Structure 1
Amino acid sequence: MTKQFSARMHFIRKHPLYLSSFARLTELEKDRIFCCHQMNHLLDVARIAYILNLERNLGLEKDMIYSAALLHDIGKYRQYEEGVPHEVASTEIAGKILADMPADICFTKNEQQTILTAIAGHRKLRENPEALEALLYESDKTSRACFACPAETECNWSNNKKNWEIHI
């Protein structure tokens, strides 16, 4: 693990906006029986995406994959409270956090845009998605173990969206 990777992940996780958004989301999901959007999910998405990136020789940077994964659901609390689609809210919050990174660890403007595009597209895959966008979408869906979920029969996801197999 590089020093820059560690610094970027630490910066994101400790940013005041990330902390407050994550705390609000945790509170709102404390009694949720369906999939939650806590750190275990975020890291599952990151790890699956990174494995697929390596297996497919996509050449995406680990920092960008993990940053997109850590930030992709951070606005979910606004969907619960305000009805704002969480990919929209998460993109907005992520943009503020990425823009605050200090110069010695910040992503370039193009890298920031790639991360934000991936977050914005993680719920519905558009035609001709960028590589990170498609990877985040696939990893987010693959991370869900619908086949073993005790609340599966009550879930409002359509059967064609549910993950029925162990994939990787």
Structure 2
Amino acid sequence: MKRVELLLKDPLYMEHIEKNVNLEEDEKYCKHDLRHMIDVARITYILILEHHDLEYFIQEAKLSGKLAAKEVIYAAGLLHDIAKWKQYQTAQDHASIGAEIAHEILPRAFFNDNEVEVIARAIYEHRNISRDMSFLGERLYRADNLSRICFLCEDRHRCLKYQNKEIGHDMLAY
């Protein structure tokens, strides 16, 4: 996955990850660091494989094949919370800013225009489930929720995501 390697080495990508880490230094749970990004990328890919949806995704997203699909899935996971630091500072939605950042970073890793649009849309959609979501956006949303074991977290009573039931016991059964 050479393009994913290029993404991980991109100076702007690394800068955004570092900003997330620095602003969450005192947080005990739910960090938006590289580990979380990799977890979400892997879970997204697993969800697609387990439900035998890889071929469907390739067709639906008009991708060139399995390797391109895997790289697109991983890129979406690795970028989905890239702008979380910006949300902390300005209260702007990190998903919409992250989609903009994806448009800047992904071409440098040789993702084509179609792939960039598929990834950016999924990043933009990953916060809230809706009927009009793209296939990858919905899987990214589920993977992001599955990446956290919130019902075991001692701080769940203070967590808006948990209180809004974006994450719940039912997510473990997915």
Q: Same fold (TM over 0.5)?
A: yes
Matches within 5 A, 1:19-98: 19-59=14-54, 60=57, 61-98=69-106
Distance 1:98 1:89 in 2: 14
Deviations for 1:32-89, whole angstroms, at most 9, x for unmatched residues?
Answer: 1341111221122111111111111211411111100000000111001122210011
Distance 1:154 1:133 in 2: 27
Distance 2:134 2:127 in 1: 14
Distance 1:159 1:123 in 2: 12
**What RMSD, in angstroms, separates the aligned Cα atoms of the two structures?**
1.5
The counterpart of 1:164, out of the listed 151, 166, 169, is 169
Query: 2:44 touches 2:143 (CA, 8 Å); kept in 1?
Result: yes
Higher mean alpha-carbon deviation, 118-127 vs 152-161, is at: 152-161
Task: Give the count of matched residue pairs.
Answer: 159
Query: 2:20 touches 2:85 (CA, 8 Å); kept in 1?
Result: yes
Query: 1:18 touches 1:74 (CA, 8 Å); kept in 2?
Result: yes
Query: For structure 2, which runs of at least 5 residues remain unmatched after alignment?
Result: 58-68
Moved over 6 A (4+): none
Distance 1:79 1:88 in 2: 10
Query: For structure 1, which runs of at least 5 residues remain unmatched after alignment?
Result: none
Q: Does residue 136 of the first structure (1) align with residue 140 of the second (2)?
A: yes
Distance 2:81 2:103 in 1: 13
Relative to the length of structure 1, the TM-score reads 0.87
AA aligned opposite 2:37:
L
The answer for the alignment partner of 1:107 in structure 2 is 111
Secondary structure of 2:114's aligned partner: helix
Distance 2:159 2:132 in 1: 29
Deviation at residue 156 of structure 1 after TM alignment: 2.1
- Identity of matched residues, %: 36
Structure with greater helix share of residues: 2
Alpha carbons of structure 1 residues 13 and 121: separation in structure 2 relative to 1, 3 Å: same
AA aligned opposite 2:166:
K
Deviations for 1:103-129, whole angstroms, at most 9, x for unmatched residues?
Answer: xxx222111100000000000123232
Deviation at residue 162 of structure 1 after TM alignment: 2.5
